[in-house]
Amino acid sequence: MLALVLVLLLVLVLGGAGFALHVLWWVALAALVLWLLGFAFSGGRGGGRRWYRW
């Protein structure tokens, strides 16, 4: 019985980690698209207009 609970807990943890990693890939992809759009609309020059305020 204890082994079954441990296996189910392990599956739950690994499944949750897999879901979190999947979501992080989508967040990273969205950030890349936003960065590329900002780079394209700024003209691509480092010394010129910037699309961010840092």
**pLDDT average, residue stretch 26-54:** 73
Q: Give pLDDT, residue 37.
A: 85
Q: Give pLDDT, residue 29.
A: 92
CB 50 within 8 A of CB 39: no
Q: Quickly state the pLDDT bin for 45 (edges 50, 70, 90).
A: low
> Using CA atoms, how far apart are residues 5 and 9, in angstroms rounded to an integer?
6
CB 53 within 8 A of CB 44: no
**pLDDT average, residue stretch 24-53:** 75
DSSP letter at 29 equals H
**pLDDT average, residue stretch 21-30:** 89
